[in-house]
Structure 1
Amino acid sequence: MRAYQHPASLRVLVFGATGTAGQGVVRALSAQGQVVTCFVRTPSAIEGDIIGDVTGRIDAGINRNFDVVVSCLASRSGSPDDAWAIDYRAHLRILDLAQKVGAKHFILLSAICVQRPLLPFQHAKLAFEAALIASGITYSIVRPTAFFKSLSGQIDRVRQGKAFLVFGNGALTACKPISDDDLGRFIAGCITDSGRHNRILPIGGPGVAITPIEQGNMLFALTGMPPKFRHVPVRMLDVIQQGLSLAGKVSPKLAAKAELARIGRYYATESMLVLDTATGRYDADATPSTGADTLEAYYASVIAGNTQVYRGEHAVF
């Protein structure tokens, strides 16, 4: 295994740097003293960015070497076409580029949900993980649990006095939410921590795992609103998904909505924790934790108007 240079001398190329997780990684790498270059689609205020499209040729105009490549890139919608185009094929291009520019370490931001793959984007991510592992380059595959932003969709509902929506009894799932900055610091730490090399790394935020109903109670306490929950039967999600799937046979737009319904159903019933393959159960105790940022503090900051929520198409309650 390569003996890494002093962190301040390493040249790091980052993909997906404009997303919230990617921004956290760039902040952490910069604080660590790394020389960071971002591959972006459109020009930004960051000097030295490389402009390009990951769905096309990405090595044009790159005439320098890099020590480490980090990818926080992910498909936006999770639809089959988008997933295979970005989570798999675009990443194969990035891996090829990493080898061409002399990188010795590839750090991939994946997702913990690939442990039980039922959706196209999960299979696409796993296909690239396998390609990365087989490539011979030193790798670190980071699989985080839920992001803060993905658990923020009901803040406004609660502030407006509406019910907090939960599926089933509100305790069907649990997660260890992680902030963008704590995740960024963990990913940056993969560079110099040889214990994170050539490993798949599940990671969550600090504290115990929390359920949706606990998230709701947290919001009610922070806003001063009386607790009010609406329990949505999982069967309702199944009916909606089945109806959209049938309609999707004649309408591409409804087919896309059917896939989003499948994704929603998955997150409503599967925990974002380490899966015990022997028992088939999710294990909170086996899910590593890192950092100090808590979901409660994040909620409080959003409610106070000090933090804005940037939610993506994968946002779930």
Structure 2
Amino acid sequence: MAFSTITNLDAAAAQQHSHELLDRILSTASSTYVTGPVGQGNGERVLVLGGTGYIGRALVPELARRGYRPAVLSRSAEVKNEAEYADAEVIVGDATKAADVAAAVKAAPTAVVISLLSGRKPNDVEDCRQVDHEAVVHGIKAAVANDVQQFIHISDYGVYRPELIPQVYKIQVEGELIGQHHGYVPWTIIRPTAYFPYLSVAFGDVKNGLKYRIYDHGEWNVVNPIAREDLAEFIVNQVLNDDAIGRILPVGGPWNADNTVTLKQAGEFMFELNGKTPDWEVITMASWDKKIARLGRLSKLTKQLKPVVFYLEAAKY
């Protein structure tokens, strides 16, 4: 399997493009589509795979608030003691094991299966294959076998131009779901923009006096991240929604001055919130790409270096 990379880009041109994009966005009347909560459940069981992660901690309570009966597959029963899961059914099992997923779906009549599954090691090909592809397929097959009314796959906005290993597997799942490779189940695919759990880690680093890493000028990209609470609301809006069946739905935060940022602007905001003077770790993209290329050549001789190469590529995001 081949993975594309962001290499040989013109830093100055990228910065100019980001500035032009920001100017255009902020000088145009916003056409952001805002719904708020739409739809209410009536006790239907909704199984969430990957529900103990960053997004799941917002999604599970939202399902309960909206009248659904959330169920979560978790490796640990201790999750039930956490506030976010007080109203959820917790089933102990491993999403990478087909039998555990099948048992979770069959445990009670299940109306909807939602997959939030995403590997925690974006630089590890095997981990991504097991979690971002195989585990999701386990969910699809179990949904088909148990006549589930809807399978909702939370994909990634980045699949429009996949650069990272998880994105490659996520778009593969999309194709298999749409093509009914594993049998028929009504589907909905959601492609959120970055919700950046990374930034919460970076915020902690800044708070503790560490530097904030940027590449070159820190303005390679402009993003409109979506808060996990807003994403959770959007996901629940699609549950058993006839208009969402058979659709790919991109979603992001508002394109306005308060939510449209470059990596550098996000860092400036963190330093401001912490009352600190900006302290940057500036790395040139050219030097980083040379390091990736050099290690890439060495990884052909030493397999242990392959995860390092993927990590360095992922770090640019």
TM-score normalized by the length of structure 2:
0.75
Select 1:54's aligned residue among 95, 99, 108: 95
Could you say what secondary structure the match of 1:118 adopts? Answer: coil
2:218 aligns with: 170
Shift in Å, 1:218: 1.1
What is the distance in 2 between the residues matched to 1:159 and 1:50?
37
* Identity across matched positions, percent: 28
Q: CA deviation at 1:6?
A: 6.2
Structure 2 unpaired stretches of 5+:
1-38
Shift in CA distance, 218/82, structure 1 to aligned 2, threshold 3 Å: same
Query: 1:187 is matched with which residue?
Result: 235
Query: What is the distance in 1 between the residues matched to 2:178 and 2:66?
Result: 26
In the TM superposition, 1:37-186 aligns within 5 A as 37-44=71-78, 45=80, 48-56=89-97, 57=99, 58-60=101-103, 62-78=106-122, 79-135=124-180, 136-186=184-234
Q: Give the counterpart letter for 2:201 in structure 1.
A: G
Amino acid in structure 1 at the alignment position of 2:226: I
Match of 2:282 in 1: 231
Q: How many residues align?
A: 262
Following superposition, the deviation at residue 227 of structure 1 comes to 3.2
The question of whether the paired residues in 2 share the 8 Å contact of 1:14 and 1:72 is answered with yes
CA RMSD of aligned residues (A): 2.2
Show structure 1 runs of 5+ residues with no match: 268-317
Give the drift of 1:245. Answer: 1.9
Change (3 A) 1:216 1:252: same
Offset, 1:81: 1.5
The whole-number CA distance in structure 2 between the counterparts of 1:164 and 1:77 is 21
| Residue of structure 1 equivalent to 2:14 | none
1:7 match: secondary structure: coil
Counterpart Cα distance in 2 of 1:48 and 1:159: 36
**TM-score, normalised on structure 1?**
0.75
Task: Name 1:258's counterpart in structure 2.
Answer: 309
In the TM superposition, structure 1's runs of 4+ consecutive aligned residues that sit over 4 Å from their partners are 160-163
Q: Greater shift after overlay, 172-181 or 145-154?
A: 145-154
- Name the structure 1 match of 2:8: none
Letter paired with 1:125: K
1:121-154, Cα deviation, whole Å (9 max, x unpaired): 2221111111111224222211111224222333
Aligned-partner Cα distance in 2 for 1:63–1:48: 11
The answer (yes or no) to whether the contact 1:106–1:139 under 8 Å persists in 2 is yes
